[in-house]
Amino acid sequence: MADTELAAAVWLTFQRNRANVQKRRARLRRLMAVCSQMERINIYANPNDNVPVVQIYMDKSKDLKFDYRLSRESIEALMTLLRREKTHGWVQHMEVLLVVYWLAHGLSYSVVSRVFDVPKTTVFVIVHRMGRVKARFNQHHARARLVVERAFGMMKARWRGIFFKALKVDHTFYPK
């Protein structure tokens, strides 16, 4: 009889543990469903609009050439060309300003991070994301350059007879 009671106790303990595991799994599933419905909030780095170089951009009357080495119209054109779907919490104008400032001054990531008051890794990520755009531009530019070079090569071959022949000039004739 002791063996049957022991077996029954073990069986009940097993059933309770199994029920607890099932309850925990159900709670975890509900929690995951709630989390997937919630909007993701990125709080790793918030842009600081109180930085002097950003305030210069925000003030429409100030000239940007000293800080960004581009006119306001050029920066606005860049922003429209680089418009994309957002993948994180940064505002697009902050990304473009950061990369243009980095390119204009040739500074290190740590100096740009202090100027814009953002983490150094954020500067690195933004610059290299924009670097992919730069690589794509360079690829298209190289293709266009090859087309132009081929056109010049064809013109050179066409006019080779004129430009590379020795001119037959009578050395005795000269204007007085």
The verdict on 28 and 57 lying in the same domain is: no
The verdict on 80 and 117 lying in the same domain is yes
Q: Do residues 108 and 135 both lie within one domain?
A: yes
Domain of residue 13: give its range: 1-40
Q: How many domains does the chain have?
A: 2
11 inside domain? yes
Q: Which of 58, 70, 57 is nearest to 105 (CA)?
A: 70
Is the pTM here over 0.75, yes or no? no
Note the pLDDT of residue 25: 76
Q: Which of 136, 103, 99 is nearest to 118 (CA)?
A: 99
Same domain (yes/no): 152, 76? yes
CB-based contacts of 68-71 (< 8 A; 24+ apart in sequence): 68/97, 68/100, 68/101, 68/104, 69/100, 69/104, 70/100, 70/104
Give the tens place of pLDDT for each residue, 98-154.
888 888 888 888 888 888 888 888 888 888 877 676 777 788 888 989 999 999 888
Flag whether pLDDT at 72 surpasses 80.
yes
Give the pLDDT confidence score for residue 62 in this predicted structure.
85
pLDDT in tens, 3-55: 777 777 766 777 777 777 777 777 777 766 665 654 444 444 566 777 888 88
